[in-house]
Amino acid sequence: MKVGVLVQFDSATDIDAKFAELKEFGVESCQLVCWDRPTLHDETMPEKINKAIEKFGIHVTAFWCGWEGRRVWDFYEGQLTLGLVPSDYRIERMKMLMEGSDFAKKIHVTDLATHVGYMPENPYDPKYEEVLVACKAIVEKCKENGQTFLFETGQETPVTLKRAIQDIEKTLGKGNIGINLDPANLIMYGKANPVDALEVFGEYVKGIHGKDGKYPTDGHHLGDEVPLGQGKVNYPAFIAKLKEIGYEGDITIEREIDGDEQKKDIRMAKDLLDKLIAE
């Protein structure tokens, strides 16, 4: 296991400066994140990224593709606005994710990740099958592009997520579906203990976010995201479990603030993760 850092970008981003910053952090990998659809059609951007990858020796482990439209990160409006679950947004978001797959191919990245949304826990809920149909189309697109589609954890329980993956595999077969495990999200959404979640879906974990958070304290708002090591993710136990199940991928630090405080927290997170990985 090695440590990387999440990089968010759009057409206005100085890619060279972002990758130089990664070297300053002392990492050799990242996940790239884009929520801006026009950037996916900016013909100059893949070339800029490819040049930066070669110049700085950075390995991009996944392209995390966002989606257009209203989004509210809570337990009420989130049900209506997030991912592929809301029917009002689904078609355009499917298209954007497929465009994201094509963009990822141009920068030679083989994992495409996203949040699917509050997938129903009841498999007989009509929306469950609707979301599966949408996911299957994206998985097939990824397969055409030689990629694996990764569900990012958060809004669904581990059992719901594993069942959805297995239901997709019944139609499309195994091989290019996995999980981008964000342990903090499992806590912040109140869905699971990340260490225990690995017992459920560990075989599918292809990527990990190094993030920390606290459990929600009411039924409306998510728990708070906090610096790694200051939340409820038991990182010593989590890293030990990853070693036990044979995970050999990267842990990509995500800190959802900006500025100097973000940089300080990233450095602190890297130090902590490096020590735990080396034990």
pLDDT in tens, 70-89: 999 999 999 999 999 999 99
CA dist 72 and 266 (Å) reads 25
What pLDDT shows up at residue 145? 98
- Bridge partners (DSSP) of residue 113 are 64, 150
CA dist 161 and 34 (Å) reads 23
Q: Are 61 and 111 in contact (CB under 8 A)?
A: yes
Residue pLDDT, tens place only, 44-66: 999 999 999 999 999 999 999 99
Question: What percentage of the chain exceeds 90 in pLDDT?
Answer: 99
**N-to-C CA span, the chain:** 12
pTM for the full model? 0.96
